[in-house]
Structure 1
Amino acid sequence: MAAPGIPPIRLGLIGTGLAVEKLHWPALRGLADRYAVTAFTDASAGQGRRFAEYSGTDPARAAVSRAALLARDDVDAVLVSVPIPNLYEVARDALAAGKDVFCEKPAGVDEQQAAAFLALAAGHPDRTFVVGENYFYRDDLRHARALLDDGAIGRLHLMAWRYAGQSVPRAGGFTGTPWRQRPQYRGGVHLDFGVHHIAQIRLLCGDVARVHGAVQTANSTIDAPSDLTLNLVFTGGAIGNYTASFPEIPVPPEPNEMRLYGTEGVLVLGGSEAERHVISSRTDATTRTTVFRGSDNGYRAELVDFADAVQFGVRPVGGVAQSVANALVVHGAFASADRAAALALDPVPGAGPVPLWRPRGSAGLFDGLPGQRSSSTASFAA
């Protein structure tokens, strides 16, 4: 919650498409004490009207253009939700207009634009500039990170994660977006969706020192490789493998679980968006399972973190450098695949290990957040 007497951030939306409708607006709707939408604009007038209808926002708050919205005095900050190739220029214009910026991911269509994102943030030190990454704020992932920090499985030495799921254009869904089917950015689905997985890997395993990737194309509905397999060496000494496949054919049900192997136990992370689980096992063959239900997958928490940064000067977890570090792992994977060789990754200035986010002023992980959590113990001894 905001402190008494502090008015909500006057927020302008640049882009009101699927990400706003399905992800950001449901979170904003529950944060009326932190945000008030005072303006919105979209390249599609119909999409803007749809936003006004489902959100109940006064249609008079629609701005005729991005420039018109950025010129308004009743906009303190903007949420940028436009196609990936346009993110940089919109964020640049918003910062130049003196606005704080919450920008959709990823930070950079390639390595050169990733560097430009870093330079843009450095050039506006007086502004809060965040590139959203909800996986940094997910309850199950933060719980797993806290377990790792507390030494629950000893020293992490191996990460293994295989993810597979059909990806075909579906009307009204993210895969139905034409710019995603014919991406004008390197990596395609692996930069758009897979970058979330890289965020999860970095949150739990630390920074990546070296990558060795290989790609395959096995989906005619997307103009980019559908498959990526990636060997990783982490700066902390652990190693890992991440394999992601997005074929056009149906695939049998997959567990899609991440497994983290330590010297004193194993963590297993899996489940669906509706019900996620973290299973911690120990050397005595006991397990503790924590189940998370009713979470919004971190969208509310990342907006709370952004508001805390704007209103109270808190350093946000999802800063530009962290998003750049995520994107550069994907770009490095594809560069490695091109060269058929392992590739060292340089540290990203200002990034480093991802901090563990907690609600401001709280020692707990979940204080004031929605969702339910339950735990149980068992044994897998023979």
Structure 2
Amino acid sequence: MAAPAIPPIRLGLIGTGLAIEKLHWPALCGLADRYVVTAFTDSSAGQCRRFAGYSGVDPALAVAARTALLAREDVDAVLVSVPIPHLYEVARDALAAGKDVFCEKPAGADAEQAAAFLSLAVAHPDRTFMVGENYFYRDDLRYARALLDDGAIGRPHLMAWRHAGQSVPRAGGFTGTPWRQRPRYRGGVHLDFGVHHIAQIRLLCGDIARVHGAVQTANRTIDAPSDLTLNLVFTGGAIGNYTASFPDIPIPPEPNDMRLYGTEGVLVLGGSEAERRVTRSGADATTHTTVFRGSDNGYRAELADFADAVQFGGRPVGSVAQSVANAMVVQRAFDSAERATALTLDPVPGAGPVPLWRPRGSAGLFDGLPGQRSSSTASFAA
């Protein structure tokens, strides 16, 4: 006899802005057997109407306030997608109401609030509490991590990554939101967007033991530093440099590739969201490139991981502790810049090395996920 079907998670949305429209709703549409939206709320009634319009969700499911949504018995879990300064208070209230919580990143507007996020998770061990970090779930990054775990480039000893791109307010885009232009959270764009890069670095290179940072302000459209450069020492012994620049002037196209140098080869990660590439080269000057197309950049996978944790138990890869570990690299980087000295990072309780996520019940990396992959081989020998 077939096992009885597990009913979908009855999901409430708190906040229905750009992150829901552009990132989470498309992923939820691909997980219709795992989730059903039973209520939604937003501080903007117009935003609620917009969500109902493009999603097809019954407008009658709109709730005037989050307190009313959290009181509903037909809401098992909530997806919290509100501005960064309000994430903590909403997650706190949802956990207190007995809901499982998937919360947008980062875990905390500063170091003090990051510690409060950790305390929240400890205080609610019976609830699934996850902070979204889609970079932990991206196909290209998980593939690269699997190569590293298999020793494809030997012992990694150096990481080099420079990311630069113009950042100006654009209507209908994330940079157009006023709270991002005048951030009330320490780190500005480097905590909001750059924390994804820290997640990528930690996933591929391991935890960071020491940082030496410097910052510059060179963007007239945001009230926060636009440039951050970090020298890093990893707990595994490797060293690295990460530089991110978000100026307001146009800059020439740059590769923005991340390079990992090992004792037996080099791994290069680059490309655009539409076409990401992982290239591995060896001592024989042969390169193997895998191209990823049609991926949703991990949003579907992270929501699948959350659903698995809610329905089957276990801990999701994107735990609160892992998100705090990402955020604390940014916070210590700004501490280092202010003090003009290198600083150590204390281990975050419950974090440790980022696990490699695989679809539940699968030994493969991509089973059941959208996207296509193709591979090619070449040589750069003279």
Give the alignment's TM-score, normalised by structure 2. Answer: 0.99
Q: C-alpha distance in 1, partners of 2:217/2:32? A: 45
Is 2:154 aligned against 1:151? Answer: no
Q: C-alpha distance in 1, partners of 2:66/2:19? A: 18
Q: C-alpha distance in 1, partners of 2:55/2:343? A: 46
1:80 maps to amino acid: V
**Corresponding residue of 1:312:** 312
1:284 maps to amino acid: D
Q: Deviations over 1:28-53 (max 9, x none)?
A: 01111000000000000000000000
* SS in structure 2 at match of 1:89: helix
Q: C-alpha distance in 2, partners of 1:326/1:363? A: 27
Matches within 5 A, 1:291-302: 291-302=291-302
TM-fit CA distance, 1:314:
2.7
Matches within 5 A, 1:189-268: 189-268=189-268
* SS in structure 1 at match of 2:287: strand
**Corresponding residue of 2:160:** 160
* SS in structure 2 at match of 1:166: coil
Q: C-alpha distance in 1, partners of 2:252/2:159? A: 23
Q: C-alpha distance in 2, partners of 1:335/1:75? A: 41
Residue ranges of structure 1 left out of the alignment (5+ in a row): none
Q: C-alpha distance in 1, partners of 2:4/2:317? A: 24
Q: C-alpha distance in 1, partners of 2:30/2:163? A: 32
**Corresponding residue of 1:269:** 269
1:199 maps to amino acid: A
Q: Deviations over 1:83-118 (max 9, x none)?
A: 000000000000000000000000011111000000
2:359 maps to amino acid: P
1:38 maps to amino acid: T
Residue ranges of structure 2 left out of the alignment (5+ in a row): none
Q: Deviations over 1:285-344 (max 9, x none)?
A: 111000000000000000000000000003200000000000000000000000000000
Is 2:37 aligned against 1:37? Answer: yes
**Corresponding residue of 2:122:** 122
TM-fit CA distance, 1:5:
1.3
Q: C-alpha distance in 1, partners of 2:20/2:71? A: 22
Q: Deviations over 1:150-192 (max 9, x none)?
A: 0000000000000000000000000000000000000000000
**Corresponding residue of 1:62:** 62
**Corresponding residue of 2:339:** 339
Q: C-alpha distance in 1, partners of 2:9/2:193? A: 29
Matches within 5 A, 1:21-100: 21-100=21-100
1:46 maps to amino acid: G
Q: C-alpha distance in 1, partners of 2:352/2:4? A: 34
Q: C-alpha distance in 1, partners of 2:354/2:4? A: 30
**Corresponding residue of 1:178:** 178
Give the alignment's TM-score, normalised by structure 1. Answer: 0.99
Q: C-alpha distance in 2, partners of 1:314/1:346? A: 26
Please give the root-mean-square deviation of Cα atoms over the aligned residues, in Å: 0.6
**Corresponding residue of 1:17:** 17
* SS in structure 1 at match of 2:300: helix
* SS in structure 1 at match of 2:6: coil
Tell me the matched-pair count. Answer: 380
Q: Deviations over 1:37-91 (max 9, x none)?
A: 0000000000000000000000110111000000000000000000000000000
1:235 maps to amino acid: T
TM-fit CA distance, 1:16:
0.1
**Corresponding residue of 2:288:** 288
TM-fit CA distance, 1:369:
0.3
Q: Which runs of 4 or more aligned residues in structure 1 lie more than 2 Å from their structure 2 counterparts after TM superposition?
A: none
Q: Deviations over 1:264-294 (max 9, x none)?
A: 0000000000000000000011110000000
TM-fit CA distance, 1:222:
0.2
| Aligned residues with identical type, % of pairs | 88
Q: C-alpha distance in 1, partners of 2:16/2:29? A: 14
Q: Deviations over 1:178-207 (max 9, x none)?
A: 000000000000000000000000000000
Q: C-alpha distance in 2, partners of 1:116/1:30? A: 33
Residue 109 to residue 352, structure 1, CA distance change in 2 (3 Å) = same
* SS in structure 2 at match of 1:255: coil
Is 2:130 aligned against 1:133? Answer: no
* SS in structure 2 at match of 1:359: coil
Q: C-alpha distance in 2, partners of 1:4/1:117? A: 36
**Corresponding residue of 2:108:** 108
TM-fit CA distance, 1:349:
0.4
TM-fit CA distance, 1:4:
4.7
Q: C-alpha distance in 2, partners of 1:139/1:208? A: 23
**Corresponding residue of 2:380:** 380
